[in-house]
Structure 1
């Protein structure tokens, strides 16, 4: 992937990073709409990928640096449109953008650590895709979600991938075909969101979520997340064959021996990640 120079009006740091008690907080900082520009997607992809090998990071949170109105407006349509003046009418840049977006979403899914979306505001198109790609999602009661590409002649085909892996097909098609915005309550009913909380408690609750997850064995979380996504794509029989072997290998781990022993002895387990 080619490195793209930041535009003059792009923040020098499009992702603000904070590590606290095992939780890596990544705040998108691309005002006014946190559009998923090349620069923002590259920054998110690289920092999430780096978290995979960082032992200090046990869970990742993706949020907006300026919550309240927009979580993310999806792809940067102005950036895309500007490349229609290219000799190939933008085809190469469009391909780069969509490939990078797919790479970012897969980096989230393949990260051996849980990723939580903290949503306060509108998550639209690829912004909704970003929420759907995270393992967990918590939003405010005023947050909204949509895949409105159909309204501008550009079907949300890549957001569809993450959406259909989170919500029922009929509900996914409703969002994709109508382009209409759904509220937080509907998003939870659809399966897109785990919890809805008042805005004043959002950060506190997500932080508590992250702390609870960070207190678990990092090896166990890695094994579990990988198995979750793999078995979901298998037949029932194959899924049971696969997960049975996963549990056997998990039982052989030092952390499983320690955790079971601590449970039997009624003491706190001491994890080593082995």
Structure 2
């Protein structure tokens, strides 16, 4: 289990950690999934570890952008380990096992933008996890699917997130028929944010992160809050919420720095204050 406080983390280090590792450098926290099976299968150990890591690091003021990607060739994640049928397990025990495996909420609540960088297959619980990100950069060979059979039913908010992302019709097609989307289909449906070749994948990822980390951390957090919360509010309430965030942003030091930089014709140095 991850332990320690933010002040003890070496921002230059790459730390091996269960079946993922992370590095924090230049305001970017990168989490890379990896396992020896070549499937990046999600299990209890992975979820507990990633949850503890997110809980510890998500408020680190030095982190302005998160990236979740894979170090395993041709795959982001193929989902979770299936439960073996055991009639002796009670309903409440099964619920507790499911709760341990629910990681999407933790990813979605990271206050900074989260980029899901996909190069290869993403399916089932892996897709549920990917849907929790804010931006999804994918290569043109990536594929997307979600299975809803009796042994692998989505339970990590996958169905609501899928419907809100691609619409009910396509979500039904993927869930009922196990339709596999190509990268171009995912882009057209809104499941992918941007599509690129494998050759240009890392360059595109760097381009996006460089742009994001140059912006005000306060504005990035407020954008995320406006999108996440505003989408679930009635129209008038969403407008009022957006207005409240705008007023709060006007009182930040970052806004003052942005104005100074504009009039002095220089690049702004935002701090998140």
- Name the TM-score class by shorter chain: 0.7 to 0.9
SS of corresponding position for 1:166? helix
2:61 maps to: 55
1:43 maps to: 49
2:88 maps to: 87
For the pair 1:160 / 2:165, whether they are aligned, the reply is: no
**Is contact 2:61-2:272 (8 Å) kept?**
no
- Structure 1 moving runs of 4+ over 4 Å: none
SS of corresponding position for 1:210? helix
Within 5 A, what are the aligned runs for 1:93-104?
A: 94-102=94-102, 104=103
Alpha-carbon displacement from aligned partner over 1:141-176 (angstroms, at most 9, x marks no partner)? 1100011223x5644353112212322222222211
Within 5 A, what are the aligned runs for 1:1-274?
A: 13-32=18-37, 33-68=39-74, 70-77=75-82, 80-81=83-84, 84-85=85-86, 87-88=88-89, 91-92=91-92, 94-102=94-102, 104-150=103-149, 154-156=152-154, 158-274=157-273
How far apart are residue 134 of structure 1 and its match? 0.4
Alpha-carbon displacement from aligned partner over 1:87-112 (angstroms, at most 9, x marks no partner)? 326x455323432343x211111111
Tell me, which stretches of 5 or more residues in structure 1 are unaligned?
1-10
**Is contact 1:167-1:192 (8 Å) kept?**
yes
Gap change, CA 1:208 and 1:48, over 3 Å in 2: farther
Corresponding residue pairs, total: 256
SS of corresponding position for 2:165? coil
Gap change, CA 1:177 and 1:242, over 3 Å in 2: same
CA RMSD of aligned residues (A): 2.0
Gap change, CA 1:169 and 1:51, over 3 Å in 2: same
1:7 maps to: none
SS of corresponding position for 1:165? helix
SS of corresponding position for 1:117? strand
Alpha-carbon displacement from aligned partner over 1:66-92 (angstroms, at most 9, x marks no partner)? 131x21111111xx21xx447326x45
Separation (CA, whole Å) in 2 of partners of 1:243 and 1:25: 30
- TM-score of the pair, normalised by structure 2: 0.86
**Is contact 1:143-1:183 (8 Å) kept?**
yes
Separation (CA, whole Å) in 2 of partners of 1:192 and 1:93: 33
| 46-55 or 126-135, larger mean C-alpha shift | 46-55
Separation (CA, whole Å) in 1 of partners of 2:218 and 2:73: 33
Gap change, CA 1:47 and 1:203, over 3 Å in 2: farther
- Give the structure with the larger helix fraction: 1
Gap change, CA 1:129 and 1:244, over 3 Å in 2: same
Gap change, CA 1:93 and 1:30, over 3 Å in 2: farther
